[in-house]
Amino acid sequence: MKTIKLVLLLLLVLALMILVFQNQAPIEVRFLWMRGAVPAILLLFLTAASGFLLGLLAPFLLAWHRTQRPADKPTPDSNNTDQEAASP
C-alpha cells in the first residue's frame, strides 16, 4: 500500500511540474485595488504550496479542536437546586 501511495504521489508531482513549466507566461492579477503581473509559474507554485500546507495543517487543527472541552453547562437539576436554596 505504501508503494502505491508513493507512486501516486510521484505521478502527481510530475504532473504538477509539467503543468508549471508549460505555463510560464505572465498573468495579470487583481486583488481589491491592486494590480500586477505575475508569472504563471509563480502563481501555480504558490497555489500548490498553499494547498499542500493547508492539507498538512488540517489534521492538526481537527485534532486540536477535538481536544478542546466545551464550557461546563449547568444541568436543569442544578438550576432547580440553586433556586430552591436561594428562596427563603
Rounded CA-CA distance 17/5 in Å is 18
DSSP E strand stretches across the chain: 26-31, 34-39
* pLDDT 10s digits, 47-75: 888 988 998 898 888 887 778 766 555 55
What percentage of the chain reaches a pLDDT higher than 70?
A: 77
Is the predicted pLDDT of residue 45 greater than 60, yes or no?
Answer: yes
Q: Is the pTM of this model over 0.75?
A: no
Chain-wide mean pLDDT for the chain?
79
List the helix and strand counts (H, then E) for the chain: 3, 2
Rounded CA-CA distance 45/22 in Å is 13
Mean predicted confidence (pLDDT) in 33-42: 86
* Nearby residues of 48 by Cβ (< 8 Å), 6 or more positions away: 16, 20
DSSP 8-state assignment for residue 33: T
Q: Which residue has the higher pLDDT, 52 or 23?
A: 52
